[in-house]
């Protein structure tokens, strides 16, 4: 047995222990769904970042960087990171005030309409099931590298691992194991980075080496990245830049209102925890993801022209860093995949139990038992779907995130800030965004229709969502119940009014601004100016 396999097995044992430890503390559905609404900042920050990162960041995104698009994804991530703060301030803290256990429940309660709740749940299940498939695919690829087993066997092993400690412990286990996974993959990457940079001459020589390397992909170091890596050959520079901006907006919306991101705020101890953890997640998205992207392009100077760019960090773990460090990195990538899978499985399972099928349980204990059974059933369905190779990790991940963002953006933020949006308007908005995106995406993929920039399928879905929100609202009547409930969301709870808490919030904000400034200066003086011959 290799050291790499030992590392993975030890990590599996750790996650199982944490999951079953947390499961013993689950007494009711509030514990199971929202961790008792008592999670501290470190756990919420850990689950936010871990559930967002997944294997896509370590494999899909780093592969995209390796093929010439690091500048595009840095721009995209800057917008994505801001979504955490925007989401917490303009949506998440109001979501927590609702005291709902799932986001579809919030839509149903906010608009006093069960149809809204069920529609939101159907969209959630479609989106997160696709996301879950991407996590299982990425984890399966890594297990193949480590064990030499077949793809089918590896996917089954991955499925058994995250399902076993999710169905029993629910959200309590999810946030605990995800935070442990978060610490593992962040720590492993930080330890491995110097080895990767030194192998190509040191971090100070990275830019120079890439500029002088004939194998460096065209456009890699330019502000626009490689246009061909965006929409294919013939893509203009303008389209490549707009692609990064467009999908930056997609991810901004996604982390701001998606059920696996904004929904984690419902577990927070208070609103201040939600704000602080979002600041941490924003900084990690900018700094840590940037570090992994730099590691990926450093490999170009060591091993250019890899056939499967998704395996760039896996290759580096085997061939560049010491074995123990490589084991930590591979375990970290595995942790990233499992952490997201835990989140998606739990959120889908909760929603199927509470929001789609209406059952009158005799007590909370029966509902808890039923929730666990549904979790297993959902996991088995996901496993069956994952055994069919439906696409690349990055393709599936970005499809899933775009689907939820186009469907929920208008109704999500509108549920808090619009005084006129009605139940019918919100429902039509979600349905139009969902159908509009799928129709446009199908036309682009199967019909060969060129949909780029502001006509990307996401924006078509968003336009449709906004238009039908207006139509639905204009053709219906706003009820007193809807108005009254929205007003209660804007009442600041007495427990959230302590001045010392806001002082700490501002401190987190100041650190976030300082980190952003440091990143800007690094990119300016360490990249942009030297590359253009100014320094």
Q: What is the CA radius of gyration of the chain?
A: 23
Whether residue 199 sits in one domain with residue 66? yes
Q: Residue 424: which pLDDT band, with cuts at 50, 70 and 90?
A: very high
Per-position DSSP letters for 271-327, written without gaps between them:
HHHHHHHHHHHHHHHHHHHHHHHHHHHHGGGTS-S-S-GGGHHHHHHHHTS-HHHHH
Tell me the three state secondary structure of residue 533. coil
Is residue 493, in this structure, part of any structural domain at all? no
> What average pLDDT does the chain have?
85
> How many domains does the chain divide into?
2
CA 51/CA 5 separation, integer angstroms: 24
Question: What is residue 1's predicted lDDT score, i.e. its pLDDT?
Answer: 63
Q: Is 132 within 8 Å of 348 (Cβ atoms)?
A: yes
Is residue 400, in this structure, part of any structural domain at all? no
Is residue 287, in this structure, part of any structural domain at all? yes
Q: What share of the chain is helix, strand, coil (3-state, %, to 5)?
A: 80, 0, 20
More confident residue, 429 or 351: 429
Instruction: Please tell me what DSSP assigns to residue 491.
Output: S
Q: For residue 234, is pLDDT > 70?
A: no
Is residue 437, in this structure, part of any structural domain at all? no
What's the average model confidence in pLDDT over 85-114? 91
CA 16/CA 32 separation, integer angstroms: 17
Q: For residue 97, which of 421, 492, 481, 408 has the smallest C-alpha distance?
A: 492
**CB hemisphere CA count around 496 (13 angstroms):** 17
Helix axes 423-445, 393-417, angle to 10 degrees: 160
Which of 386, 413, 438 is the endpoint of a domain?
386
Can you give the three-state secondary structure of 472-490, one letter per residue? HHHCCCCCHHHHHHHHHHC
Give the tokens for residue 164: 């076993």
More confident residue, 404 or 418: 418
Q: For residue 168, which of 312, 317, 15 has the smallest C-alpha distance?
A: 15
Instruction: Give, in order, the Cα–Cα distances in Å from 453 to each of 128, 311, 401, 432, 448.
Output: 25, 29, 17, 20, 16
Q: For residue 180, which of 70, 64, 305, 17 has the smallest C-alpha distance?
A: 17
CA 263/CA 495 separation, integer angstroms: 21
Question: What is residue 389's predicted lDDT score, i.e. its pLDDT?
Answer: 64
Which region, left, alpha or beta, applies to residue 308 given φ > 0 means left and ψ of -120 to 50 means alpha? beta
CA 318/CA 314 separation, integer angstroms: 7
Residue bearing tokens 């780029």: 452
Is residue 447, in this structure, part of any structural domain at all? no
Which of 325, 355, 386 is the endpoint of a domain?
386
Question: What is residue 390's predicted lDDT score, i.e. its pLDDT?
Answer: 56
Whether residue 94 sits in one domain with residue 237? yes
* Phi, psi of 268, deg, nearest 5: -65, 150
Is residue 15, in this structure, part of any structural domain at all? yes
Question: What is residue 230's predicted lDDT score, i.e. its pLDDT?
Answer: 67
Q: Residue 328: which pLDDT band, with cuts at 50, 70 and 90?
A: confident
Which of 327, 358, 386 is the endpoint of a domain?
386
Which region, left, alpha or beta, applies to residue 35 given φ > 0 means left and ψ of -120 to 50 means alpha? left
CA 216/CA 235 separation, integer angstroms: 19
Whether residue 124 sits in one domain with residue 261? yes
Instruction: Give, in order, the Cα–Cα distances in Å from 456 to each of 113, 241, 463, 476, 483.
Output: 31, 13, 11, 30, 34
Tens digits of residue pLDDT in 208-218 = 999 999 999 88
Q: Residue 333: which pLDDT band, with cuts at 50, 70 and 90?
A: confident
Q: Give me the CATH number covering residue 118.
A: 1.20.1730.10
More confident residue, 62 or 173: 62
Give the tokens for residue 492: 């600041």
Whether residue 517 sits in one domain with residue 375? no
CA 249/CA 243 separation, integer angstroms: 10
Residues in the chain: 535
Whether residue 516 sits in one domain with residue 369? no
Q: Residue 428: which pLDDT band, with cuts at 50, 70 and 90?
A: very high
Question: What is residue 55's predicted lDDT score, i.e. its pLDDT?
Answer: 66
Point out the least confidently predicted range of 249-253, 268-272, 357-361: 357-361
Is residue 282, in this structure, part of any structural domain at all? yes
Question: What is residue 254's predicted lDDT score, i.e. its pLDDT?
Answer: 86
User: Which residues, 6+ apart, have CB-to-CB distance to 1 below 8 Å?
Assistant: none
Q: For residue 485, is pLDDT > 90?
A: yes
Residues facing 268 on adjacent strands? 39
Question: What is residue 293's predicted lDDT score, i.e. its pLDDT?
Answer: 93
Instruction: Please tell me what DSSP assigns to residue 258.
Output: -
Instruction: Give, in order, the Cα–Cα distances in Å from 186 to each of 26, 165, 182, 290, 302.
Output: 29, 22, 6, 12, 23
- Tell me the range of 237-246, 368-377, 467-476 where mean pLDDT is highest: 467-476
Q: Is 454 within 8 Å of 246 (Cβ atoms)?
A: yes
Give me the percent of the chain exceeding a pLDDT of 90.
35
Q: For residue 395, is pLDDT > 60?
A: no
CA 192/CA 329 separation, integer angstroms: 7
Is residue 23, in this structure, part of any structural domain at all? yes
CA 261/CA 241 separation, integer angstroms: 26
Domain hosting residue 201, numbered range: 3-386
């Amino acid at each position: 047995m290799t050291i790499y396999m030992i590392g993975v097995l030890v990590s599996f044992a750790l996650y199982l222990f944490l999951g079953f430890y947390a499961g013993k503390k689950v007494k009711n559905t509030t514990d199971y769904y929202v961790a008792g609404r008592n999670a501290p900042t470190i756990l919420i920050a850990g689950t936010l970042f871990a559930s967002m990162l997944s294997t896509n960041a370590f494999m899909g995104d780093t592969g995209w960087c390796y093929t010439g698009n690091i500048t595009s994804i840095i721009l995209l991530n800057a917008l994505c990171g801001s979504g955490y703060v925007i989401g917490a301030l303009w949506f998440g803290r109001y979501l927590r005030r609702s005291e709902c256990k799932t986001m579809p429940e919030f839509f149903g309660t906010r608009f006093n309409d069960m149809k809204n709740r069920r529609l939101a749940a159907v969209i959630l299940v479609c989106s997160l099931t696709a996301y879950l498939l991407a996590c299982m695919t990425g984890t399966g690829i890594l297990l193949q590298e480590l064990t030499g087993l077949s793809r089918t066997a590896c996917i089954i092993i991955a499925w058994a691992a995250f399902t076993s400690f999710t169905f029993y412990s629910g959200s309590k286990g999810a946030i605990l194991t995800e935070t442990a996974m978060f610490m593992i993959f962040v720590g492993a990457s930080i330890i491995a980075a110097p080895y990767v940079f030194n192998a190509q001459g040191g971090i100070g020589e990275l830019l120079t080496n890439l500029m002088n390397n004939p194998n460096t992909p065209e456009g890699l170091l330019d502000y626009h990245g490689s246009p061909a890596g965006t929409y294919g050959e013939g893509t203009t520079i303008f389209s490549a830049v707009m692609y990064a901006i467009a999908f930056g907006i997609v991810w901004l919306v996604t982390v701001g209102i998606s059920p696996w991101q904004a929904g984690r705020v419902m577990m927070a101890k208070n609103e201040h925890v939600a704000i602080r953890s979002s600041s941490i997640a924003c900084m990690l998205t900018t700094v840590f993801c940037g570090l992994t992207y730099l590691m990926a392009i450093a490999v170009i100077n060591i091993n250019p022209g890899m056939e499967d760019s998704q395996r760039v960090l896996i290759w580096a773990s085997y061939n560049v860093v010491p074995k123990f460090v490589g084991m930590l990195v591979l375990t970290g990538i595995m942790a990233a995949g499992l952490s997201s899978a835990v989140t998606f499985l739990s959120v889908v399972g909760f929603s199927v139990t509470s929001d789609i099928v209406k059952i009158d349980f005799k007590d909370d204990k029966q509902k808890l038992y039923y929730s666990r059974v549904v979790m297993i059933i959902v996991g088995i369905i996901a496993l069956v779907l994952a055994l069919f190779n439906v696409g690349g990790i990055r393709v599936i991940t970005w499809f899933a995130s775009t689907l939820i963002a186009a469907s929920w953006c208008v109704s999500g933020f509108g549920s808090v800030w619009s005084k006129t949006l009605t139940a019918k308007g919100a429902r039509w908005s979600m349905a139009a965004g969902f159908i509009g995106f799928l129709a446009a995406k199908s036309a682009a993929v199967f019909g060969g229709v060129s949909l780029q920039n502001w006509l990307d399928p996401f924006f078509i879905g968003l336009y449709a969502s906004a238009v039908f929100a207006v139509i639905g609202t204009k053709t219906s009547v706003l009820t007193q119940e809807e108005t009254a409930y929205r007003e209660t969301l804007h009442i600041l709870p007495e427990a959230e009014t302590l001045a010392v808490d806001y002082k700490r919030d501002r401190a987190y904000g100041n650190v976030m601004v300082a980190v952003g400034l440091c990143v800007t200066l690094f990119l300016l003086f360490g990249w942009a100016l030297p590359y253009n011959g100014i320094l």
